[in-house]
């Protein structure tokens, strides 16, 4: 799957590079010879089954091959360079918005009385959910980077800054992550809020809640000890799924902000048909999605005492 689909695309990555070299004016070598040489180097002159076999063989040895467009770079290195940016930004924002959304959702689902604040929160959450993050990103760029000017426009750090574990660089990174993070947190918050609220509200009429009320427990205790624990299960599933999806889910955001993460890498690989890089990243995405699904089953054991595997 991961191997076949990129190759179905018409067009030849080597021609793309040759065209770029031509445009740069550095065509001192005969271009046709160069193309052939490149093809031989990447094994693209062989037929597809041979290519697939050698890809599988390399993969088993943990070798993802070399990038075609950024030639001397190994795919592993490209991915490893981009990975921390994506994981750092997206896991943090996902967890922040999950925590906030779940908390406010629980509180607002528990209040059965209608109030102004309640209605306002609801409609804000609904409209936030219906706005995709890239629209929010454009609005935020306008407000915070153009009108007020407190955030930088794009990039992961100031050009020219030396990446390293210094405090200044860290501050720079956080400052650049501000806008993308804000747009993701605000838009995904709505969904966590809505789903948690619905769960808590549907639990209100259940027998065990009525029993807890009959025992005379106070409201906050019932909410956090009885209702919350039951309602949290689907929320955890959602969190694990969206954490598994972060590898592939940030392409649009990263290309709007020119953020040096996996999505940016993948987008450029796709545009220039860089097969090894596309394959490497899609493999990573598939692995992370499936392992997240596995993780959910394992987490259930811990948070839901009703589920036991291998017992009758």
Nearest approach in angstroms of CB 11 to other proteins is 8
Which residue's CB is nearer to other proteins, number 104 or number 267?
Answer: 267
Nearer to other proteins, 107 or 247 (CB): 247
Question: Cβ closer to other proteins: 227 or 285?
Answer: 285
Least distance CB 134 / other proteins (angstroms): 6
Cα–Cα dist 137/139, whole Å: 5
- Min dist CB 244 to other proteins, Å, is 10
User: Which of 34/145 has CB closer to other proteins?
Assistant: 145
Closer residue to other proteins in complex, CB, 134/169:
134
Smaller CB distance to other proteins: residue 129 or 228?
A: 129
Residues 6 or more apart whose CB falls under 8 angstroms from that of 41 comprise none
3-class secondary structure for the chain? CCCHHHHHCCCCHHHHHHHHHHHHCCCCCCHHHHHHHHHHHHCCCCCHHHHHHHHHHHHHCCCCCECCCCCCCEHHHHHHHHHHHHHHHHHHHHHHHHHHHHHHHHHHHHCCCCCHHHHHHHHHHHHHHHCCHHHHHHHHHHHHHHHCCCCCCCCCCCCCCCCCCCHHHHHHHHHHHHHHHHHHHHHHHHHHHHHHHHHHHHHCCCHHHHHHHHCCCCHHHHHHHHHHHHHHHHHHHHHHHHHHHCCCCCHHHHHHHCCCCHHHHHHHHHHCCCHHHHHHHHHHHHHHHHHHHHHHHHHHHHHCCCCCCCCC
For other proteins, the binding residues (CB under 8 A) are 1, 5-6, 8-11, 126-127, 129-132, 134-135, 138-139, 141-142, 145-146, 153, 202, 245, 247-249, 251-252, 255-256, 266-267, 270-271, 278, 281-282, 285-286, 289-290
Shortest reach from residue 38's CB to other proteins, in Å: 21
CB of 280 to other proteins, least distance (A): 12
Q: Find the shortest distance in angstroms from Cβ 169 to other proteins.
A: 26
In the complex with other proteins, which residue's Cβ is closer, 8 or 165? 8
Shortest Å, Cβ 40 to other proteins: 25
Structure-token pair, residue 280: 């490497």
């Amino acid at each position: 799957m991961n191997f076949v689909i990129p190759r179905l695309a018409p067009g030849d990555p080597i021609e793309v590079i040759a065209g770029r070299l031509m445009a740069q004016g550095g065509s001192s070598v005969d271009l046709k010879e160069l193309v052939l040489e490149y093809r031989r180097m990447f094994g693209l002159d062989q037929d597809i089954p041979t290519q697939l076999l050698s890809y599988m063989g390399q993969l088993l040895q943990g070798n993802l091959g070399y990038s075609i467009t950024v030639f001397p770079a190994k795919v592993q290195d490209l991915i490893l360079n981009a990975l921390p940016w994506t994981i750092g930004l997206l896991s943090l924002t996902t967890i922040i918005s999950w925590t906030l959304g779940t908390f406010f959702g629980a509180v607002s689902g528990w209040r059965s009385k209608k109030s102004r604040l309640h209605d306002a929160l609801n409609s804000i959450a609904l409209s936030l959910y219906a706005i995709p993050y890239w629209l929010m990103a454009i609005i935020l760029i306008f407000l915070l980077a153009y009108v007020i000017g407190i955030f930088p426009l794009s990039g992961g750090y100031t050009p020219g800054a030396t990446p390293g574990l210094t405090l200044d660089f860290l501050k720079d990174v956080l400052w650049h992550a501000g806008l993308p993070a804000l747009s993701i947190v605000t838009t995904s918050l709505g969904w966590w809020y809505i789903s948690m609220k619905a769960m808590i509200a549907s639990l209100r009429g259940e027998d065990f809640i009525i029993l807890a009320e009959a025992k005379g427990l106070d409201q906050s205790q019932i909410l956090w000890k009885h209702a919350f624990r039951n309602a949290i299960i689907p929320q955890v599933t959602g969190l694990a799924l969206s954490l598994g999806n972060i590898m592939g889910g940030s392409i649009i955001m990263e290309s709007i902000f020119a953020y040096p993460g996996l999505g940016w890498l993948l987008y450029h690989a796709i545009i220039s048909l860089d097969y090894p890089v596309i394959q490497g990243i899609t493999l990573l995405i598939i692995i992370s999605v499936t392992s997240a699904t596995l993780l959910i089953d394992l987490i259930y054991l811990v948070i839901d005492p009703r589920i036991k595997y291998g017992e009758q």
